[in-house]
Amino acid sequence: MIGLLILFTFLAIITVALGAILSKDITQSVMLFMGVGLGSVVLFFIFQAPDVALTEAVIGTGLSTAVFLLGIMHTSQEEMES
Amino acid sequence: MLVFLGYILGFLGVALFFISGLGLLRMPDTLTRMQAATKASTLGSLLVILAIACFEPDWTFKLIVLAVFILITNPISSSLLAMTTYKRFYKHIYNTSGADALKGEDK
Amino acid sequence: MNLKKVLPLKHILLSILSSALLLSVLGLLMQVKTNLYKNVGDIFLNLNMQTATANAVTSVVTFFRGIDTVGEVTVLFLATSGIALMLSDTQRTCEKVVKQESFILNVGSRLLLSVIVLFGVYIIIHGHLSPGGGFQGGVVIATAFLLLFLANPNMSLSHSILTLGESLSGVAYVLVALIGLFKMNILLGNFLPHPIGEIGELVSGGIIPVIYILVGIKVGSEMSVIVEYFSKEDYYKEVCDA
């Protein structure tokens, strides 16, 4: 049962990562990258590493997504206003 | 008995999530899609949390904290999304009834 | 419908490569047996009595590999200094302009700020009992401030208090490590009393909660400064250009 969950999580991570690579829109790509982090949180938790899971949840899905989005906002300002 | 109630509530919550996903795919414009994605999923999350409280009565306090968190964050984000969409993309809104309650506001 | 146009060869190769990787990882997972753990982990678990924490990972991070934690804190300090050097601009004099802000967002973010900061403090204080610790709790506090800055651009942190707290906690961390060196002949030695009988109590583990609180203050203030620089840059540009 837990093996099935691990398998599905792996498949979801690979799907989301492919989507993040192939996506044309950079904001969408960042959001899908956050999905990769979310899947790895579940994997770390299943493999009994709650410390790493907590770190990944806070940094991988919280702060790094925010910093990416703020960076996109700063660099593409003219594009957004047109 | 409590477990049976939990199954019913969980099924209702998952059904609401399904409806929310369906609405996200089928609705015509941003406002209606956003309404499907936020309102239905708020109620769905609350029902799933109630179902978990029926399965594990010891976790009730933590689940109440979770429910309050969802009840604070989800409506705030949806109202902000709606206001931003109304102000910036007013021309693209799918408005068949012609009603506009926020007509006096600047767009 | 041309298949080659919809799915280019590169993507097909990429998918095949990733599925082969998945299969090999699964094959490795199948071969893992639970009785093969007679290695470093067991030695660390036996030595865990020296530090007397309920959470073995904590003893590794703060005691056996404590010098690594000092290095990580130094790396974070250098990163903060670099970001401050790049993004700070001393000629900003036009920050008094009040930008229009949403009432609902303002009230909601203030309501959530206290809850998130409380959660971060809980993670820091319970670092030696449950998963988490100084780094994770500090970053949780920084995300609370990120929420505040995104909701309310007129908000600003007091940099003098943050700098004072950050440098004082860093100095205190090194001092704790040096006291351990003098009293126990080990860097970061656990010189406070930590009887075996009270493993799992909140006040236990000797210097480990002290180290985690210091690291939490340091990481929280550094990350808050980084987040403030990143989120304020846009606002200053908008206000100063207008």
ipTM for this model: 0.82
C46: buried, middle or exposed (CB in 10 Å: 19+, 13-18, 0-12)?
Answer: exposed
Tokens coding C164: 């004072």
pLDDT of residue A82: 43
Question: DSSP 3-state assignment of C94?
Answer: coil
Domain identity same for C164 and C223:
yes
Would you write out chain B's pLDDT as a tens digit for each of its 107 residues? 888 999 999 999 999 999 999 998 988 888 888 888 888 889 999 999 999 999 988 999 999 999 999 998 899 888 888 888 887 777 667 677 777 777 766 54
Domain identity same for C45 and C23:
no
Domain identity same for C20 and C95:
no
Domain count, chain C: 2
Going from N- to C-terminal start, the domains of chain B cover 2-91
Tokens coding C221: 């203030």
Contact B107, B84 (CB under 8 A): no
Domain identity same for C182 and C163:
yes
Residue located via tokens 């309501």: C111
Domain identity same for C6 and C106:
no
Asked if A73 reaches chain C (Cβ–Cβ under 8 Å), the answer is: yes
Going from N- to C-terminal start, the domains of chain A cover 2-81
Between C18, C19, C143, which is nearest A63 by CB?
A: C143
Between A6, A62, A73, which is nearest C143 by CB?
A: A62
Domain identity same for C10 and C63:
no
pLDDT per residue as tens digits for the range A25-40: 899 999 999 999 999 9
Domain identity same for C14 and C50:
no
Domain identity same for C165 and C57:
yes
Domain identity same for C12 and C44:
no
Residue pairs between chains B and C whose CB atoms are closer than 8 Å: 15
Domain identity same for C8 and C58:
no
Helices H / strands E in chain C, number of each = 9, 0
Distance between CA B34 and CA C79 in Å, rounded? 39
Contact C15, A18 (CB under 8 A): yes
Residue located via tokens 């942190």: C157
Domain identity same for C151 and C235:
yes
Minimal C-alpha gap between B38 and chain C (Å) = 16
A-chain residues near C25 (CB < 8 A): 10
Domain of residue C227 covers 40-241
Handedness of CA C126, C133, C145, B61 (dihedral sign): negative
Distance between CA A8 and CA A25 in Å, rounded? 26
Domain identity same for C117 and C47:
yes
- Give the closest residue to C142 by CA, choosing from C83, C58, C211, C91: C83
Would you write out chain C's pLDDT as a tens digit for each of its 242 residues? 566 666 778 888 888 888 888 888 887 777 766 555 566 777 777 777 777 777 888 888 888 888 888 888 889 889 888 888 887 765 555 555 556 667 888 888 888 899 899 999 999 999 888 888 888 999 999 999 988 888 877 777 888 888 898 889 989 998 988 888 888 887 777 888 877 777 777 888 788 888 999 999 999 999 888 888 887 765 555 556 55
Q: Determine, for residues A77 and C234 on separate chains, whether the beta-carbon distance falls below 8 Å.
A: yes
Nearest chain A residue (CA) to C226: A67
| Sequence-distant contacts of A9-18: CB under 8 A, at least 24 apart | A9/A39, A9/A42, A9/A43, A9/A46, A10/A43, A10/C22, A10/C25, A10/C26, A11/C22, A12/A39, A13/A39, A13/A40, A13/A43, A14/C18, A14/C19, A14/C22, A17/C18, A18/C11, A18/C14, A18/C15, A18/C18
Among left, alpha and beta (phi > 0; psi -120 to 50; other), residue B31 is: alpha
